[in-house]
Copies of this chain bind each other. A is one copy, B any other.
Amino acid sequence: MKIRTLILGLCLSGILGAQEIPGGFSVRPANDASGKILTMEETILSRELSPARLWERWDGNGHLTVLMDGRWVTYDIATGDTSAYKASAPALKAFTEGQSLYLSRKDGSKVPVAVSEDPQITYGQFVSRNEFSIEDGIFWAPDSTRLAFYRKDESRVTTFPLLDITTRTGSLREIKYPMAGMDSENVQLGIYDLASGKTVYVKAEDFGYDRYLTNITWTPDASKVLIQVLDRSQKHLRLNAYDAATGDFIRTILTEDNDRYVEPQDPVWFLKGSNDTFIYRTDNRDGFRNLYLCNMEGGMQRLTCTDADVAYVANDGKYVWYTSAEVSPVENHLFRIRVKKNAAGWKFGKPERLTHETGWHEIRMSPDCRHFTDSWSSLTTPRVTDLCTSDGKTVRNILTAADPTLDHAYTEITLGTVKSADGRFDNYYRLIKPKDFDPSRKYPVIVYVYGGPHSQMVRNTFTGELRRWEMYMAQRGYLVYVQDNRGTQNRGAEFEKAIHRQCGQAEMADQMEGVKMLMQLPYVDKDRIGVHGWSYGGFMTISLITNYPEIFKVAVAGGPVIDWKWYEVMYGERYMDHPDVNPEGYALTSLINKAKDLKGKLLICQGAIDPVVLWEHSLSFVRECVKNNVQVDYFPYPCHEHNVSGKDRVHLHDKISMYFEDYL
């Protein structure tokens, strides 16, 4: 087997990325015969073990600036020379202070835009708990004459008490937490006119108090604001246009309805030079996230026609650039498509693929759409960054990273696929072999799982998205297995929405297909299978060990959701519906009901001031275990929130590892 691996390794490096997925597998050969074993500090904290990365961005003026030695320098596209980057400060800046919104002028003066005197009202910050891709609460008009901003009213949202132990007598940190089925936020969009100093509020009267105002987009002429208004059930969306001067409703441009959910995640992108034509992405028309060319009157033509999720990159009025999963879900490639209007309407050219090397390509397009940078890696290629013209021709390679793991005892990593439980999909996995792998021996397995929406754990990137802790465990004699499942992203709507109303069920079924495959491998010790995950992965971990007590011997769950009724409205109700209309789904997935079924060893870890998955989740599970006289282990990370970050993460991973060492 050693020889086979070696030969395969040689073959692979010869053909850059080896046998392609799908239809086979991709292998990164082991170099574990010599080389250093990871320490936990290296595993968690080392930057040297990641390939060198070029941090680059395009200036508005068409220059590429790159971060070198901690300073941003301007990179000359023609010569490759660099010079000091000169940033110009904007004349006006909007900023929030506390819960209020202000403008600061260049002269240092501060102009109030919206001042909150009520702790329940916040201006200018993100809303809806960052769902629907909402990251910010300030939206400048293209001509800077107006400023749109969110107003969030949490007066109906319940509070949750967190204990802060860093003060002498312990103090209370109360957070607002809108819990599934309970009263939620009210969001409004204000538009502040810089000339008059007046604010109007958009008259978004659809769907009542707790609807969502998502993906704010200004028309290029700054006359209108487009909002994707979503009802609380997340089954009905209206793309509405509003008058920026008055806030008046103009029209509904288009609507989306879905029995499960509509999840708007993108603004619209106006075609360069047009105030009427825009690109719109949805998975609600053809089952994949495709691009459509639309106009303000509701006209709509399908632009990308692939059975794969695509992502918009840029347009210059003539071409639209996008990346897509159509080559493979574990690869990301750039395409462009010609768009042209004639008397009969829009005509689209054939898509042209612009990136070709096997792997995952990240694209940054220059604002003038003349160049892009292509930063890519694959299982066997650490990282390459090329400067290209926008038709895909390479101008120059600007980074080829060395393999930083060469003198470390990295073991073999295999990417492959296993059928989903319903037989309709290939689920991708990575398998990390133990050090000094001997196929005649039996090895314990650790399944690392996340499994929740918006995630993709397996990609054809350098070391295949390996979390170094997996290699740490592989070097200590474990097979480590990581697999995506239905519900995760980049695989189309059917794949993603299969989990609706019963989170965890399809995901578990798919994970178990992977586990069954593992159990058929001659070198797997079927009696020593462990599972570990955090957050949604914590939920999956406890779901797996309680639903399959005969399979999993040891589990470590971090920050786990225990019952979706304790999770937040925006995310929770999308996948689980309102608790009143899906009581059977909530009951089926609640781990409170499963505590009595726990047989193996389970360690639960959680940040003691977790504001995302509240401490109530894991403490309630513990309480239920105690009630049923079921043994479970627990470890709180005081002063940590939803993740244990910084150097304390070393402690966490020592704890996790020791738990498997002690009990698996």
Partner of A163, one of B615, B631, B635, B648: B615
Task: Give 24 A-B contacts (CB < 8 Å), ordered by A residue.
Answer: A158-B169, A160-B169, A163-B615, A163-B616, A163-B619, A165-B619, A165-B620, A165-B623, A169-B177, A169-B182, A169-B616, A170-B614, A170-B615, A172-B172, A619-B636, A619-B638, A622-B636, A622-B637, A626-B648, A627-B648, A629-B647, A629-B650, A631-B651, A634-B635
Closest residue of B by beta carbon distance from A617: B165
Q: How far apart are the CA atoms of A622 and B635 in the complex, in Å?
A: 9
Q: How far is the CB of A137 from chain B (nearest CB, A)?
A: 25
Q: How far apart are the CA atoms of A224 and B169 in the complex, in Å?
A: 40
Q: How far is the CB of A579 from chain B (nearest CB, A)?
A: 10
Chain A 556-588 interface mask (CB, 8 Å, partner B; 1/0)? 000000000110000000000000000000000
Known interface pairs A634-B635, A635-B634, A637-B626; A161-B165 also in contact (CB < 8 Å):
no
| A179 interface hit (Cβ, 8 Å) | yes
* Central interface residue in A620, A626, A662, by most chain B CB within 10 Å: A626
Partner of A633, one of B565, B614, B633: B633
Chain A 625-656 interface mask (CB, 8 Å, partner B; 1/0)? 11101010111111100000001101100110
Q: How far is the CB of A76 from chain B (nearest CB, A)?
A: 47
| A658 interface hit (Cβ, 8 Å) | yes
| A265 interface hit (Cβ, 8 Å) | no
Q: How far is the CB of A368 from chain B (nearest CB, A)?
A: 50
Q: How far apart are the CA atoms of A616 and B609 in the complex, in Å?
A: 13
Residues of B close to A179: CB separation below 8 A: 168-169
| A171 interface hit (Cβ, 8 Å) | yes
Say what secondary structure dominates the interface of chain A.
mixed
Q: How far is the CB of A337 from chain B (nearest CB, A)?
A: 49
Q: How far apart are the CA atoms of A633 and B639 in the complex, in Å?
A: 17
Residues of B close to A159: CB separation below 8 A: 169
Known interface pairs A169-B179, A616-B165; A654-B636 also in contact (CB < 8 Å):
no
Known interface pairs A608-B619, A620-B165; A651-B626 also in contact (CB < 8 Å):
yes
Residues of B close to A566: CB separation below 8 A: 168
Closest residue of B by beta carbon distance from A40: B629
Q: How far is the CB of A237 from chain B (nearest CB, A)?
A: 29
Q: How far apart are the CA atoms of A158 and B651 in the complex, in Å?
A: 33
Q: How far apart are the CA atoms of A633 and B616 in the complex, in Å?
A: 20
Residue contact A635 to B633, C-beta cutoff 8 Å: yes
Q: How far is the CB of A156 from chain B (nearest CB, A)?
A: 12
Q: How far is the CB of A601 from chain B (nearest CB, A)?
A: 10
Known interface pairs A619-B636, A629-B650, A650-B629; A161-B168 also in contact (CB < 8 Å):
no
